[in-house]
């Protein structure tokens, strides 16, 4: 396993994998296995199963565990796996994280508890409890748009002192934040964007990669962007790729994710469009937008 930044465990283009379902709503294990293989063949630097893009809130515990197990088995050490282990129950997050470690995941992604609306002290207790319960790295998922609360920069710096807390998936869309956190923490804390549309300015400000929804359907282009920026020292190429991907960055969030990206995946034949309620089939106008964005990126 390699990282675009030799001193960091996680960097580059990571895919927040969708969880394919059959038409009857059951897990489509064959499609998921094929998706993992295709992602690696296309150059994705790492995989994130059962994050919120993987519809973790509507998976049973058994399904959640199974998806992680399949991902680890199929990947077979070819790229790092950051397994989703998020819950608004700390005890449940601990169990999910421990299972991920037991079956061979390289790290876990733990989201800020949603709905509970904890204070900064509560957030500290949550992340610390999960990190204390495992011996693999933990990546904090800071997404105030869905969890209401945000991990403050000061708390992030405090949490970064924990030996098992290795980085952040930052879905605040604050492109100045990587520089702020570098000043507070240093350069060895993995900073991964959680907002596809801001990936290039995030990298320019000192970020190290992206945990991406768009790379479900455009893994090669997303990987090339990171290579151009980090290895190729070619900002013009990185900008051209970012510009090419921007219609997808917009269209795949025209409705609640992962509805649009699953529809896009169905057009490419890599996963079915089925989501679990309360998410439903996307509107016809959204389908038109997704198709147009795939054409703009030369994917169909």
Q: What are phi and psi of 190, to 5 degrees?
A: -65, 120
Selecting among 31, 169, 262, 287, the annotated active-site residue is 169
DSSP bridge partners of 211 = 14
167: closest CA among 157, 176, 175? Answer: 157
Mean pLDDT of the chain: 97
| Full DSSP string of 113-142 | PSSS---HHHHHHHHHHHHHT-SS-EEEEE
DSSP bridge partners of 14 = 46, 211
Selecting among 141, 202, 262, 263, the annotated active-site residue is 141
pLDDT in tens, 104-123: 999 999 999 999 999 999 99
CA distance 16 to 234: 26
Q: Work out the average pLDDT over 175-185.
A: 98
pLDDT in tens, 213-259: 999 999 999 999 999 999 888 999 999 999 999 999 999 999 999 99
CA distance 199 to 173: 9
Q: What is the predicted pLDDT for the residue at 3?
A: 73
pLDDT for 1 beyond 70? no
pLDDT for 85 beyond 70? yes
Q: What is the domain partition of the chain in residue ranges?
A: 12-234
State how far the alpha carbon of 138 is from the alpha carbons of 60, 65, 176, 287, in Å.
22, 17, 23, 36
Catalytic status, residue 231: no
- Domain 12-234 falls in which CATH fold? TIM Barrel (3.20.20)
pLDDT band at 6 (very low <50, low <70, confident <90, very high): confident
Quick one: how far is CA 248 from the chain centroid? Answer: 16
Map tokens 């991964």 to a residue: 192
pLDDT band at 2 (very low <50, low <70, confident <90, very high): low
**pTM over cut 0.95:** yes
Count of H-run helices and E-run strands, the chain: 12, 8
CA distance 144 to 114: 9
pLDDT in tens, 9-60: 999 999 999 999 999 999 999 999 999 999 999 999 999 999 999 999 999 9
More confident residue, 1 or 228: 228
């Amino acid at each position: 396993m390699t990282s675009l930044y030799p001193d960091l465990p996680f960097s580059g283009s990571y895919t927040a994998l969708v969880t394919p379902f059959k038409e009857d709503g059951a897990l489509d294990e064959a499609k998921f296995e094929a998706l993992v293989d295709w992602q690696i063949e296309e150059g994705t630097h790492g995989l994130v199963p059962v994050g919120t893009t993987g519809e973790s809130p509507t998976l049973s515990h058994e399904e959640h565990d199974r998806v992680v197990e399949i991902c680890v088995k199929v990947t077979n050490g070819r790229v790092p796996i950051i397994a989703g282990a998020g819950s608004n129950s700390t005890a449940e997050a601990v169990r999910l994280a421990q299972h991920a470690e037991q079956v061979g995941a390289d790290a876990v992604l733990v989201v800020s508890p949603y709905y509970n609306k904890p204070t900064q002290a509560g957030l500290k207790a949550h992340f610390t409890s999960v990190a204390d319960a495992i011996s693999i790295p933990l990546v904090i998922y800071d997404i105030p748009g869905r969890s209401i609360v945000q991990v403050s920069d000061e708390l992030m710096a405090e949490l970064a002192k924990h030996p098992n807390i290795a980085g952040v998936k930052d879905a605040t869309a604050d492109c100045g934040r990587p520089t702020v956190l570098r000043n507070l923490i240093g350069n060895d804390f993995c900073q991964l964007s959680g907002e596809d549309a801001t990936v290039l300015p995030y990298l320019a400000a000192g970020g190290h990669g992206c945990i991406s929804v768009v790379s479900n359907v455009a893994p090669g282009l997303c990987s090339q962007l990171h290579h151009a920026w980090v290895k190729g020292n070619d900002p013009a190429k990185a900008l051209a790729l970012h510009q090419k991907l921007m219609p997808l960055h917009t269209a795949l969030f025209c409705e609640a994710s992962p509805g649009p990206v699953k529809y896009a995946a169905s057009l490419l034949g890599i996963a079915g469009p089925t989501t679990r309620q309360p998410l439903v089939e996307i509107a016809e106008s959204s389908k038109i937008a997704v198709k147009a964005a795939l054409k703009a990126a030369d994917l169909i």
